[in-house]
Amino acid sequence: MNYYAMTKRLQIPWIGEYYADALTLEARIKNRTEVQEAASLLCAKLMERKSKREEMIQYLADKRGISFDEMKRQLLTGEYKPLEPEEIVELEEVEEGE
């Protein structure tokens, strides 16, 4: 999957009248389209949350006993799946046996 292709579009559910109006106002003040402004705002928020996102990835990696990089790879490639309760017990048993 090529995320950098110009034809890729992210679709989001309706954000509601209040936020749609706020987005329109924000975009027009900056002489942008709503789509351009929404993309800009989303990117800014994602950058703001970088340390929290990395903390969450590290938590998931620690829980599985794998590296941060491996957990990030699994998340990006779609290999990640939530652990079942039985798997958590198995992982805890392995840790206790070490």
* Whether residues 54 and 41 fall in one domain: no
1 located within any domain:
no
* Whether residues 37 and 55 fall in one domain: no
Burial class from Cβ neighbours inside 10 Å (0-12, 13-18, 19+) for residue 71 reads buried
When pLDDT is cut at 50, 70 and 90, the band that residue 5 belongs to is: low
* Whether residues 29 and 66 fall in one domain: no
* pTM given for the model: 0.77
pLDDT at 88: 85
Domain assignment of residue 75, given as a range: 50-97
Q: Count of domains in the chain?
A: 2
* Whether residues 85 and 69 fall in one domain: yes
68 located within any domain:
yes
2 located within any domain:
no
DSSP string, 40-68: HHHHHHHHHTHHHHHHHHHHHHHHHT--H
pLDDT at 94: 76
